[in-house]
A and B are shown apart, each in its own frame.
Chain A
Amino acid sequence: EAQVTQNPRYLITVTGKKLTVTCSQNMNHEYMSWYRQDPGLGLRQIYYSMNVEVTDKGDVPEGYKVSRKEKRNFPLILESPSPNQTSLYFCASGITGQPQHFGDGTRLSIL
């Protein structure tokens, strides 16, 4: 079954404590991306990757890092989380530069 798997699904943490949200896809897709979704602001792209070792900033990259060492994995790293990064996060993958499959989402609360 085609899947994009995100972990954790829910996380409550505190300001400044480094965290990583993992994303893995089993479709051999070259394209992967991270979005955050906030009420009234819609889906905004954080980072994307067109292939292994190739990553680029999206519209709201500040405060986030990513890496793409393997095709299937695209983790999102918050080195020093702040309350304004409280949001619903989605990872997505696709064959070309558009998201075809989304993960179930990760709801982050940063206190």
Chain B
Amino acid sequence: QKEVEQNSGPLSVPEGAIASLNCTYSDRGSQSFFWYRQYSGKSPELIMFIYSNGDKEDGRFTAQLNKASQYVSLLIRDSQPSDSATYLCAPQGWSGAGSYQLTFGKGTKLSVIP
């Protein structure tokens, strides 16, 4: 059973601060890591992915990966109220059926306070 652990939150940060969202995973064979954002009542949307150890930056978002520690994080700089959503971590590992598949964490709810 592949486990993906995220703090459910809510994580509350003031507007303009850095929000740090963390995720640990059990499958050492995971190759790629995806972050999705889901607004309340809406479908998930892909916002970031990372394949290699280290940091990857995209605008206000930075994904950090440490495969040795089985840890991936998402930093949101200059947080805005519009960032308030649930963030889903999804490592991609071998399914055993001839393909790589994602396993989703249950998500961290972020609330950015104006």
Contacts and interface: CB of A to CB of B under 8 A. Distances in A.
Given A42-B88, A99-B46, A50 B102 contact: no
Interface in B77-109: 88, 90, 92, 95, 97-107
Nearest to A59: B103
B107 to A, nearest CB: 6
Contact of B104 (A42, A50, A57, A101): A42
Contacts of A40: 106
Contacts, number: 51
B100 A97 contact: yes
Contacts of B105: 42
A45 B99 CA distance: 14
Interface residues on B, range: 20 to 34
Interface stretch (A16-24, A74-82, A102-110): A102-110
Contact of A102 (B44, B49, B95, B100): B44
A59 B41 CA distance: 23
A100 B32 CA distance: 14
Contact of A97 (B43, B99, B103): B99
21 contacts: A40-B106, A42-B104, A43-B44, A45-B101, A50-B99, A56-B95, A56-B98, A57-B97, A90-B43, A90-B44, A97-B92, A97-B101, A98-B34, A98-B46, A98-B49, A98-B100, A98-B102, A99-B44, A102-B44, A102-B45, A103-B43
Interface of A: 35, 40-45, 48, 50, 56-59, 90, 97-105
